Structure 1
Amino acid sequence: MVVPPWYELPPPGYGGLEQVVSALVDGLAALGHDVTLFGAGSGTGTAAEFVGTDQLQNSRLGQALPELAHVARTNRMIADGDFDIVHDHTTIGPLAASRRETPTVATVHGAPVGELADILKGVDPQVALVAISHSQRALVRGLPWVATVHNAMAGSGVSKPAPSDGPVVWLARFSPDKGPDLAIEAAREAGLPLVLAGKCTEPGEAQYLAEVIEPMLGPDVTLLRNPERETCAELLLRARCLIMPIRWSEPFGMVMLEAMSAGTPVVALNRGAVPELVRHGETGFVHEDPAELPQSLRDVLGLDPAACVEHVRTQFGADRMARAYERVYRRWVSNDRSAPLEREMMVTSAT
């Protein structure tokens, strides 16, 4: 299992990819597989055997050279080892996978457009590309996808027994794509308090927060910068709902699973993978127009927290994700690649 060099597994704060891979590693271990995790830092809290390549590089998040160096070191270690399959979660790794003798499955965690699409179009066809949502897969035609496996999470075991009249919570990175300004407008129109809890570690995020969001703040909005994961979990547990007014085709959106697993419904705009995750009228509300959000913020107290928890447990459990990937691995190791793995897709209908 190869992960980027940015954060630990499991992540102490921000890190949706790392949260997913942590659940996958433990899910595969529970199925009896021996998992070796190639990452940065000094160790892991997962069930994998950890092999470190360097110090964590989160201060250089998104830069090409740290990930290139990490992948190069990892490839040398893989060549010296004895592995049945390599599962790569890095951006650059799939391009270098053709140099590996071991078969490679690569999960694409970002939106495959622009430069990322160019990278993926250059990936060797012997690398199995896996999408994390049908929406992500539809963003660009012509990529050799072999399966779609929805992300999943390990159950937290903590959920609310009844709807909460706490604040509306927005939890994301500070970016126009994530719509914190729309969250403020919707909560204010609904007459409800709002907590904005977001990642703000990069210059663009800090600039957007200072120039666009902070001038919109008032006594009805609480601002939290870079909250730890425990804080995020507590916020979601106490929240009236999670608001997800995104402006872009989000490939997945782990925070929606985190909210629903705590019994907290999601109020979102119909963008990206949102309708694959949220069942309208049951685990939240999904709308086309931001003007529809305020009424749903008022209406969420009529939704059953138990339905949210059960939806995540049955459709997005770590065991289900692990078994779906296990089928992809077996097919790729056996070299039976005559047809796309459509029947191996982890299909979740949220309609």
Structure 2
Amino acid sequence: MAKAVLQPVVKLFSNAHILPMKIAQIAPLVEACPPRQYGGTERVVAYLSDELVRQGHDVTLFASGDSSTAARLVSCAPRALRTDPSVRDILPYHVMMLDEVCRRADDFDVLHFHTDLLHFPMARSFSDRTVTTLHGRLDLPDLWPFYSAFADMPLVSISLGQRDPMPPVCWLGNVYHGLPERLLPFHAAGRGGYLAFLGRISPEKRPDRAIRIAVQSGLPLKIAAKIDRVDRAYWEADIAPLVSRHANIEYLGEIGEREKTRFLGGARALLFPIDWPEPFGLAMIEAMACGTPVIAFRCGSVPEVIDDGVNGFVVDSVDEAVAAVGRIGEIDRRAVRRAFLARFSAERMAHDYLALYGRLRGPSPDGCPHPDRSAQADAGLQVAA
């Protein structure tokens, strides 16, 4: 791998004034922290927990027993539920974990939940010490009455676009995901010469668009993606025939962290042709960490993550994406890496969360502790003043 000297990044964040805290991180049990292969939420929880420990805080991670962490691990299932063939229903395991968390709640200054809505009734009595990061899509109709009923629970979004469908709730802040700076090293050139698709084979991720873009561009496409059981029929009916039809399309299957460095670093560009309100899109910043530009469709968080013409291109059609492939040489891969370091490091993510933890000082008259009233904050540090 060719190496290049990057310009130093000036870091504008410091938590020197924040005293050490006792923090509980509560992760889903579907994947290990971090996942061995595909997985977003548990990956973010793992990186956040380790970075908080690195910054001097006492962190307890409630997660599956096969997790790897610098924090104190409380095993709430022997191993990631997705990898356990004996598990048929994940709900009982999560309820048992949340019961354990509630019994230990007084041990912590802050309890940070990543379990979406499941814990709300249990945690209401100590909600002034909780933060809940919502990792999923929020445009489903059944969520409106639920979040209206729990409008005082302190919430964190992972993009401002994620908030759009929600009723008035207690937004404590917005924190973009981050990765450890050394996790995915910089590649000065995408020497593989191919386009990459990373994630899941599912209709909303639009691998069919990625294939069309590659075919029209005349470039190879490597697809590294898992296929969930619910998407097996979609793969067999719609995507597998396209892969078979075109010699320049290669399906690699699901890959892990070790393979990801070579896969993303060797790519000329990452295709992110989504067709749904993506809450964040971790694959985009994974590519950026390698210096690989991203060509992404204008949905969900994409305009907040991709600075058009700097770390990739934001497009509205397959034709525009094909044109962007032709312009990919205009993107400076060093600038892509610099954008990652400045905006999407685990250090910055932990700083933002610590700022939010420090604002949990009991409810204000409207029931929300120091709410984030500005949904128009700059797309750099997303913690409201």
TM-score normalised by L of structure 1: 0.91
- Provide closer, same or farther for how the CA distance between residues 95 and 347 of structure 1 changes in structure 2, counting only shifts above 3 A: farther
Code of the aligned partner of 1:51: V
Q: Displacement of 1:109 after TM fit? A: 0.2
Residue by residue over 1:308-350, the C-alpha shift from the partner in whole angstroms, topping out at 9 and shown as x without a partner, is: 1110111111111111111111111455656413589984259
Check if 1:299 corresponds to 2:322.
no
Q: How many residues align?
A: 346
On the 8 A contact 2:363/2:370 being kept in 1, the answer is: no
The aligned residue for residue 216 of structure 1 is 242
Q: Aligned to 2:26, what secondary structure does the other structure show?
A: coil
TM-superposition CA deviations, 1:131-151 (whole Å, max 9, x none): 000000113232322211111
> d(CA) in 2 for partners of 1:345 and 1:86?
27
Secondary structure of 1:320's partner? helix
Could you list the per-position Cα deviations for residues 138-176 of structure 1 after superposition, in whole angstroms to 9, with x for gaps in the alignment? 132323222111111111251112354521001111111
The residue that corresponds to 1:348 in the other structure is: 379
Q: Matched residue of 2:320: which SS?
A: helix
Which letter does structure 2 place at the counterpart of 1:21?
Answer: V
The superposition leaves residues 7-30 of structure 1 with CA deviations (integer Å, 9 ceiling, x where unpaired) of 111111111111111121122112
Alignment of 1:174-323 (within 5 A): 174-200=201-227, 202-217=228-243, 218-323=246-351
Unaligned runs of 5+ residues in structure 1 are none
Separation in 2, partners of 1:159, 1:211: 37
CA 1:75–1:330: 2 relative to 1, 3 Å: farther
Instruction: State the distance in 2 between where 1:345 and 1:312 align.
Output: 21
Measure, in 1, the Cα distance between the counterparts of 2:88 and 2:320.
40
SS of equivalent to 1:28:
helix
Instruction: Return closer, same or farther for 1:47/1:116 CA change in 2, 3 Å cut-off.
Output: farther
Relative distance call for 1:232 and 1:117 in structure 2 (3 A) is farther
Per the alignment, do residues 303 and 119 of structure 1 end up closer, same or farther by CA in structure 2, a change over 3 Å counting? same
Does residue 48 (structure 1) correspond to residue 71 (structure 2)? The answer is: yes
Percent identity at matched positions? 32
Q: 1:113·1:140 contact (CA, 8 Å) conserved in 2?
A: yes
| Equivalent position SS for 2:314 | strand
> In the alignment, residue 207 of structure 2 is paired with which amino acid?
P
Paired amino acid for 2:155:
L
- Pick the structure with more helix per residue: 1
1:74 to 2:102 alignment: no
Aligned AA for 1:348? A
2:47 paired with 1:23: yes
Instruction: Please show how residues 109-188 of structure 1 align to structure 2 within 5 Å.
Output: 109-114=135-140, 115-123=142-150, 125=152, 127-155=153-181, 156=183, 158-164=185-191, 166-188=193-215
- Tell me, in whole angstroms, the C-alpha distance in 2 between the residues paired with 1:344 and 1:52: 37
Whether the 8 Å contact between 2:185 and 2:261 is mirrored in structure 1 is no
The partner residue of 1:86 within 111, 130, 138 is 111
Match for 1:35 among 44, 52, 59?
59
User: 2:134 — aligned with what?
Assistant: 108
Per the alignment, do residues 108 and 117 of structure 1 end up closer, same or farther by CA in structure 2, a change over 3 Å counting? farther
Q: Tell me how far apart the structure 1 counterparts of residues 282 and 310 of structure 2 sit (CA, whole Å).
A: 18
Equivalent position amino acid for 1:113 in 2: D
Contact kept? 1:88, 1:94, Cα under 8 Å: no
Distance 1:345 1:231 in 2: 37
| 8 Å CA contact retained: 2:192, 2:268 | yes
